[in-house]
Amino acid sequence: MAHQWRGVVAEYADRLPAHLLERTVTLGEGGTPLVPAPVLSERTGADVYLKVEGMNPTGSFKDRGMTAAMSAAAGRGAKVVVCASTGNTSASAAAYATRAGMICAVLVPDGKIAMGKLSQAIAHGARLLQVDGNFDDCLVAARKLAESYPVELVNSVNPDRIEGQKTGAFEIVDALGDAPDIHVLPVGNAGNITAYWKGFREYAGLCPDAPGGSLPAVATRTPAMWGFQAAGAAPIVLGHPVTEPETVATAIRIGNPASWRQAEEARDDSGGVIESVTDDQILAAHRVLSAEAGVFVEPGSAAGVAGLLSRAERGLVPAGARVTVTVTGHGLKDPQWALRTLDGADVEPTRVSADVVSIADALDLS
Ligand code: AN7
């Protein structure tokens, strides 16, 4: 019988804090495919792989951190959790809270989260509050709520979230046999770049004090971390918070990332970069992924690929480098972008009568 993946806490138990094992809350997250992307390799002259995180139980990478945060909360006997979210965190928190038998409150920016994510939070029975403000306002409120009321915060400022998310880096090294030369990902609140950098360092034996730090190293090196923010929400690139972030990539519409300093550390210690990409570049990369690579992601997830392609155009991707890109969330979260051309026109389905000749004609087969 094929091995049944047990979720990241059980699979990587020897490299995670022991308190996550007391009452593990899992939906079988992780174990996602690392898919070679010949189309991107050809365009960049590198050897490119996609870590397809849309394959997680709620359709985004957030599930890796959420199994950890929710296991810790359950172990402490928590009854209520809260998060601020641009959408995916709320979908994930809602699902895992349901599994744990907890109440989940989510604060989302009014009108600025994708329909798929909103539906998930509601379907899983979250107490959803649409806040008159942006993500950054929601996070400030969620933190204050957790300080003053008997509520656990499950945003990525919760260190257990980072512990869970670092397993994405472990899986990449396990699949390739060593760390890549470059790891690429979108940056919003900057938890994931922080987590991946931690995971890559731990697997290279560079963190003796980490859980499992005395285990043999799995990787011989660490990658350069390349992070990409949306141009209208690029505080780390600009060097100051953005009070009114704007981008089609609502997942990363964040003006004051909680893990800002850790993201800069990951960039600097790894010899990497954090740059911005325009909405047009994001939507073009979104289309390359779906129409040429066969991988459907949400716009925010395409920011990493957009940045990689932009650097390739500028001659900044070393020939033959092994590059992994985390594509963070599933295309079905926010499908409307597929129904527009890159010029912004609506895609109209072709209508035909139900006879084979008309159908063949419409398909240019005759
Ligand atoms: C698809 O759900 O912040 O830099 O509240 O949903 O770790 O924040 C989502 C972020 C990238 C950025 N891609 O990751 C939330 C939230 C997708 C995302 C990011 C998010 P971080």
Residue-wise pLDDT for 207-239, tens only, equals 999 999 999 999 999 999 999 999 999 999 999
The two beta strands, 273-277 and 224-230, are parallel
Amino acid found at 176: L
- Lookup result for tokens 């209208």: 232
Contact of 270 with 225, CB cutoff 8 Å: yes
- Give dist(CA 241, CA 263) in Å, integer: 14
pLDDT of the residue at 81: 98
By alpha-carbon position, which residue is closest to atom 6 of ligand 1? 251
pLDDT of the residue at 101: 98
The token duo for 22 is: 């007391």
Mutate to test the pocket of ligand 1, among 85, 107, 117, 252 (most ligand atoms within 8 A of CB): 252
Residue 131: partners with Cβ closer than 8 Å, 6 or more residues away: 107, 108, 109, 110, 137, 138, 141
Rounded to a whole number of angstroms, the CA Rg of the chain reads 20
For the Cβ of 223 lying below 6 angstroms from any atom of ligand 1, the answer is: no
Q: From the CA of 362, how far away is ligand 1's center (Å)?
A: 41
For residue 168, pLDDT beyond 70: yes
For the Cβ of 329 lying below 6 angstroms from any atom of ligand 1, the answer is: yes
pTM of the predicted model, to two decimals?
A: 0.97
Contact of 222 with 201, CB cutoff 8 Å: yes
For the Cβ of 326 lying below 6 angstroms from any atom of ligand 1, the answer is: no
pLDDT of the residue at 126: 98
pLDDT of the residue at 1: 65
Atom of ligand 1 nearest to the CA of 191: 7
Average per-residue pLDDT in the chain?
A: 97
For the Cβ of 300 lying below 6 angstroms from any atom of ligand 1, the answer is: yes
Q: Which of 296, 325, 289 is nearest to 193 (CA)?
A: 325
For residue 365, pLDDT beyond 90: yes
Atom of ligand 1 nearest to the CA of 83: 5
Q: Quote the crossing angle between the two packed helices 62-75 and 88-100, to the nearest 10°.
A: 40
- Give dist(CA 163, CA 31) in Å, integer: 16
The token duo for 83 is: 């998060």
By alpha-carbon position, which residue is closest to atom 1 of ligand 1? 329
- Give dist(CA 114, CA 217) in Å, integer: 40
Q: From the CA of 223, how far away is ligand 1's center (Å)?
A: 21
pLDDT of the residue at 366: 81
- Give dist(CA 343, CA 366) in Å, integer: 30
For residue 89, pLDDT beyond 90: yes
Atom of ligand 1 nearest to the CA of 297: 1
For the Cβ of 63 lying below 6 angstroms from any atom of ligand 1, the answer is: no
Atom of ligand 1 nearest to the CA of 192: 7
What percentage of the chain has pLDDT greater than the value 70? 100
For the Cβ of 60 lying below 6 angstroms from any atom of ligand 1, the answer is: yes
Going by the DSSP 8-state scheme, the letter that residue 346 receives in this structure is B
For the Cβ of 328 lying below 6 angstroms from any atom of ligand 1, the answer is: yes
Contact of 249 with 230, CB cutoff 8 Å: yes
Report the DSSP beta bridge partners of residue 52: 327
- Local confidence band at 2 (pLDDT 50, 70, 90 cut-offs): confident
The two beta strands, 47-52 and 34-36, are antiparallel
Q: From the CA of 331, how far away is ligand 1's center (Å)?
A: 14
For the Cβ of 56 lying below 6 angstroms from any atom of ligand 1, the answer is: no
For residue 37, pLDDT beyond 80: yes
Residue-wise pLDDT for 277-336, tens only, equals 999 999 999 999 999 999 999 999 999 999 999 999 999 999 999 999 999 999 999 999
- Local confidence band at 344 (pLDDT 50, 70, 90 cut-offs): confident
Contact of 256 with 241, CB cutoff 8 Å: yes
pLDDT of the residue at 102: 98
Mutate to test the pocket of ligand 1, among 192, 262, 326, 330 (most ligand atoms within 8 A of CB): 192
The token duo for 172 is: 């990449």
pLDDT of the residue at 110: 93
For the Cβ of 235 lying below 6 angstroms from any atom of ligand 1, the answer is: no
Q: List alpha helices for the chain, DSSP H.
A: 8-11, 38-44, 62-75, 88-100, 115-123, 135-148, 159-165, 167-176, 191-203, 235-238, 260-270, 279-288, 299-313, 356-362
For the Cβ of 189 lying below 6 angstroms from any atom of ligand 1, the answer is: yes
Looking at per-residue pLDDT, the higher value among 159 and 3 belongs to: 159
